Amino acid sequence: MDTLFSLQDQTAVLTGAGGVIGGAMAKALAARGARVAVLDLALDAAEKVAAAIREEGGEAIAVQANVLERESIEQAAAEVTKQFGPAQILVNGAGGNKKEATTAPDLSFFDLPPDALRWVFDLNFLGSVLPSQVFGRPMAERNEGVVINISSMNSFRPLTRILAYSGAKAAINNFTQWLAVHLNQGGASSVRVNAIAPGFFETTQNKFLLRDEKTGNLTPRGQQIVDHTPMGRFGEPDDLIGTLIWLVSPAAKFVTGIVVPVDGGFSAYSGV
């Protein structure tokens, strides 16, 4: 089993890895033996994660990268290759929502600003496509590698209020299937592309929807989510680790083009 789930001598690149969820994923990959490149727009946040990995005896570097600028990603890829060699694993973790792209009592659908909608869609969709182009080309040329996209359960069933994020994550699901087929039929028959679809996890980007800013208590929406999650809680970053390790390891060598839900049973519950 250790061999089946081992990532020894693998180089893993994670975008958006300075955040809570991305950071947890980076640490988990390092614990399984991978050399980890922690990419984030905020270099200080990336360095904190990389430093924590090194303190535990792992190998990690922090690299600044803007996932919406191809030149920035190419520079990051060059640095990763220089330090660790070519990447065998890419986790497209950069993403998120913003308040201005979310309907509210004082912001109707008809008044949502295009710039905010575009920002959310670009960050989540293009922010996965561009790194997949840059880091995926060498994978395709070597016929070796794994790409993991981060989707969301509201890609399957859109949630109220969250327009751009739901649409962008639905696009991620389609892109995951498309890229898996494209690479395999294009000669890279061993390169795999899959996605993880988390349910409700508390993040910096969605906290305004889930908790009262002053008290920290659940908002009515947050309580409704917990009530409709059979396991009775929000997800925690570590809840994603088992699925991630499985998908990037030899244990999933014949798995590609799928989106795996990790949602505490939310999608299985009708509310009755």
- Active site members: 165
Please provide the size of the chain in residues: 272
Buried b (16+ CB within 10 A) or exposed e, 130-147: bbbebbbeebbeeeebbb
